Chains A and B, each alone.
Chain A
Amino acid sequence: MHSDTGVSILEMRDIWKVYPNGVIANANVDIQVRKGEIHALLGENGAGKTTLMKILFGFEHPSSGKILYDGKEVAIASPHKAIAMGIGMVHQHFMLVPSLTVAENVLLGMEPKKGLSVDMAKAFEIVRQAGNQYGLSVPVEKKIEDISVGMRQRVEIIKTLVRGANLIILDEPTAVLTPQETVELFKALRILVDRGKTVIFITHKLNEVKQIADRITVLRKGHVVGTAEVKDMTQVEMSRMMVGRDVEMVIEKKPAVVGPELLRVKKLHYVREDKVAVLNGVSFSVRAGEILGIAGVEGNGQTELVQIITGLLSPSKGDIAVNEKVMRRLNPKTARKSGMSHIPSDRMVRGVALESTVEENVISDRYFKKPFSAYGIQSPRKITRFTKGLIDQFDIRVDSSKRSVKMLSGGNIQKVVVAREFTAGAKIIIADQPTRGIDVGASDFIRRQLVEERDQGVGVLLISADLTELLEVSDRILVLYRGEVVAHFDEVEGLTEETLGEYMLGIKRMSEDDLKGYSQETATDKEGMER
Chain B
Amino acid sequence: MKLKFRIDTFQLYRTGIAIGIALLLGYIIIFFSKIPSDAASLWEGVRAGFDNANEAFKWFLLGPIVRWRGNEMLFNERGAIQWLNESVPIIITGLAVSIVFSAKQFNIGAEGQLFMGAVAATFVAVHFPAIPVLHPIVVILTAMVTGALWAVVPALMKAKLKASELVSSLMMNYVALYMGLFLIKTFIRDTKAGSLVSLPFAATAQLPFINERYRLHIGIVIAVVSAVVIWWILRRTTWGYQVRLIGDNINFAQYSGIATQSVVFQVQVASGAVAGMAGTLEMIGYYDRFLWLFSPGYGWDGIIIATLARNNPLFVLVAALFFSYIRVGAKIMGRNTDIAPEIVSILQAAIILLVTAEAFLSGLKQRSIEKRARKVEEALTGREVK
In the assembled complex, the CB of A401 is this many whole angstroms from the nearest CB of chain B, namely 13
What 1/0 mask marks residues of chain B from 370 to 386 whose CB sits below 8 Å from any chain A CB?
10111011000101011
Name which of A223, A342, A350, A407 has the most chain B CB atoms within 10 A of its CB.
A350
B4 touches A407 (CB 8 A): yes
> Smallest CB–CB gap between B338 and chain A, Å?
47
B377 A24 Cβ-Cβ under 8 A: yes
Q: How far is the CA of A368 from the CA of B239 in the complex (A)?
A: 9
List A contacts of B251 (CB < 8 A): 349-350
Complex CA gap A90/B67 in Å reads: 70
Interface size on B, residues (CB 8 A): 37
CB of A217 to closest CB in B, whole Å: 19
**A-chain residues with CB within 8 Å of residue B337 when the two chains form the complex:** none
- Binding stretch for chain B, among A42-50, A185-193, A244-252, A374-382: A374-382
B370's contact among A63, A355, A376, by CB below 8 Å, is which? Answer: A63
- Neighbouring B residues of A120 by C-beta, 8 Å: none
Assembly CA distance A364 to B241 (angstroms): 9
A28 at the interface (CB under 8 A from B): yes
Residue of B nearest to A17 (CB): B370
Q: Are B245 and A377 in contact (CB under 8 A)?
A: no
Chain B residues closer than 8 Å to A377, beta-carbon distance: 236-238
B4, A378: Cβ atoms closer than 8 Å: no
Report yes or no: B248 in contact with A356, Cβ–Cβ below 8 A.
yes
Whether B161 sits at the interface, judged by CB under 8 Å, is: no
**Which A residues are in CB contact (< 8 Å) with B4?**
403-404, 407
The answer to whether A351 and B3 have CB atoms under 8 Å apart is: no
* B237, A378: Cβ atoms closer than 8 Å: yes
Chain B positions within 8 Å of A352 at CB level: 249, 252
Q: Which of B238, B242, B365 has the most CB of A within 10 A?
A: B238
Complex partner residue of B372 from A22, A223, A364, A367, CB under 8 angstroms: A22
CB-based contact B255/A360 at 8 Å = no
Q: How far is the CA of A380 from the CA of B251 in the complex (A)?
A: 24
Q: How far is the CA of A355 from the CA of B255 in the complex (A)?
A: 17
Q: Complex: how many Å from CA A56 to CA B377? A: 23
Q: Bin chain A's interface residue count.
A: 35 or more
Chain A 307-338: CB-based contact to B (< 8 A → 1; otherwise 0):
00010100000000000000000001101110
Distance A8 CA – B53 CA, assembled complex (angstroms): 64
Contact A20 B365 (CB under 8 A): yes
- Find out whether the CB atom of A18 lies under 8 angstroms from the CB atom of B248: no
Interface hits, A345-401 → B, CB 8 Å: 349-356, 360, 364-365, 367-368, 373, 376-378, 380, 399
B366 and chain A: residue at smallest CB distance = A20
**Are A360 and B249 in contact, CB atoms less than 8 angstroms apart?**
no
| A356: min CB distance to chain B, Å | 5
Q: Are A342 and B255 in contact (CB under 8 A)?
A: yes
Complex Cα–Cα for A64 and B236 (A): 44
How far apart sit A369 and B318, CA to CA, in the bound complex (Å)?
Answer: 35
Across-interface contacts of A354 in B (CB, < 8 A) = 248-249
Given A312-B254, A332-B254, A349-B251, is A368 in contact with B238 using a C-beta cutoff of 8 Å? yes
B372 touches A365 (CB 8 A): no
Do residues B377 and A353 form an inter-chain contact, with CB atoms below 8 A? no
Instruction: Given A312-B255, A332-B257, A352-B252, check contact A28 B241 (CB 8 Å).
Output: no
Most chain A beta carbons < 10 A, residue from B3, B236, B370: B370
Q: How far is the CB of B278 from chain A (nearest CB, A)?
A: 26
A351→B238 contact, CB < 8 A: no
Contact of B385 among A28, A360, A399 (CB under 8 A): A28
A378 and B252 contacting across the interface, CB-CB below 8 Å: no
* B381 cross-chain contacts in A, Cβ below 8 A: 223
Contacts of A20 in B (CB 8 A): 362, 365-366, 369
Contact of B373 among A24, A28, A335 (CB under 8 A): A24
Q: Scan residues 1-32 of chain A and give those whose CB is less than 8 A from a CB of chain B.
A: 16, 18, 20-24, 27-28
Is A344 an interface residue, CB under 8 A from the partner? yes
Residues of B contacting A356 with CB < 8 Å? 244-245, 248-249
A22 near B373 (CB under 8 angstroms)?
Answer: yes
User: A177-196 interface mask toward B, CB cutoff 8 Å, 1 = contact, 0 = none?
Assistant: 00000000000000000000
For the complex, what is the distance from the CA of A378 to the CA of B241, rounded to whole Å?
9
* In the assembled complex, B62 has its CB within 8 A of some CB on chain A: no
Of A16, A18, A336, A353, the contact of B253 (CB 8 Å cutoff):
A353
Identity of the chain B residue whose Cβ is nearest the Cβ of A22 in the assembled complex: B3
CB neighbors of A among B247-263 (8 A): 248-249, 251-259
Measured between alpha carbons, how far is A355 from B244 in the docked complex, in Å? 10
Among B4, B251, B257, B373, the most chain A Cβ lie within 10 Å of the Cβ of B257
Q: Which residues of B are found within 8 Å of A336, using beta-carbon distances?
A: 256-257
Which of the residues A28, A64, A337 comes within 8 Å of B383, measured between beta carbons? A28
| Closest B residue, CB atoms, query A19 | B369
Assuming the A-B contacts A332-B255, A350-B251, A360-B244, are A376 and B365 also in contact, with contact meaning beta carbons closer than 8 angstroms in the complex?
no
Residues of B within 8 A of A355 (CB): 248-249
Considering the complex, give the chain A residue whose CB is closest to the CB of B245.
A353
Whether, in the assembled complex, B357 has its beta carbon less than 8 Å from a beta carbon of chain A, the answer is: no
Q: How far is the CA of A403 from the CA of B377 in the complex (A)?
A: 20
| Binary contact readout B22-51 vs A (1 if CB under 8 angstroms, 0 otherwise) | 000000000000000000000000000000
Contact A364 B252 (CB under 8 A): yes
A96–B365 alpha-carbon span in the complex (Å): 36
B255–A376 touching, CB < 8 Å:
no
State the CA gap A351–B251 with chains docked (Å). Answer: 9
| Beta-carbon contacts under 8 Å, B287-346 to A | none
Docked complex Cα distance between A477 and B377 (Å): 45
Task: Specify which chain B residues have a CB less than 8 angstroms from the CB of A28 in the assembled complex.
Answer: 383, 385
Query: Does B252 lie within 8 Å of A353, measured CB to CB?
Result: yes
- Measured between beta carbons, the chain A residues less than 8 angstroms from B193 are none
By beta carbon, the residue of chain A nearest B3 is A22
Distance in angstroms from B256 CB to nearest chain A CB is: 4
- Complex interface: chain A residues within 8 A of B362 (CB): 20
Residues of B close to A373: CB separation below 8 A? 237-238
Which residues of the other chain, B, contact A342 by a CB distance below 8 angstroms?
255
Chain B residues whose CB sits within 8 angstroms of the CB of A21 once the complex forms: 3
Give 1 or 0 for each of B223-251: 1 = CB within 8 Å of chain A CB. 00000000000001111011011001101
Q: Which residues of A contact B73 (CB under 8 A)?
A: none
Nearest-neighbor residue (CB-CB) of A352 within chain B = B252
* Contact B241–A367 (Cβ < 8 Å): yes
Contacting pair A380 B236 (CB below 8 A): yes
Report if A344-B255 is in contact (Cβ < 8 Å); known contacts: A22-B3, A407-B4. Answer: yes
Q: How far is the CA of A376 from the CA of B240 in the complex (A)?
A: 9
A177 to chain B, nearest CB (A): 29
Pairs across A and B, CB under 8 Å, 26 listed: A16-B374, A18-B374, A20-B369, A22-B7, A24-B373, A24-B377, A28-B383, A63-B366, A332-B255, A332-B257, A349-B249, A350-B252, A351-B252, A352-B252, A353-B252, A353-B253, A355-B249, A356-B249, A360-B244, A360-B245, A364-B256, A365-B256, A367-B238, A368-B238, A376-B239, A407-B4
Instruction: Tell me the B residues contacting A by CB distance below 8 Å.
Output: 1, 3-4, 7, 236-239, 241-242, 244-245, 248-249, 251-259, 362, 365-366, 369-370, 372-374, 376-377, 381, 383, 385-386
* Pairs of residues from A and B, 4 with the lowest C-beta to C-beta distance, nearest first: A364-B256, A353-B248, A22-B3, A333-B257
Q: Please give 13 more A-B residue pairs, beta carbons under 8 A apart, in addition to A365-B256, A367-B238.
A: A16-B374, A18-B369, A18-B370, A18-B373, A18-B374, A20-B362, A24-B377, A27-B377, A353-B249, A356-B248, A356-B249, A360-B245, A376-B239
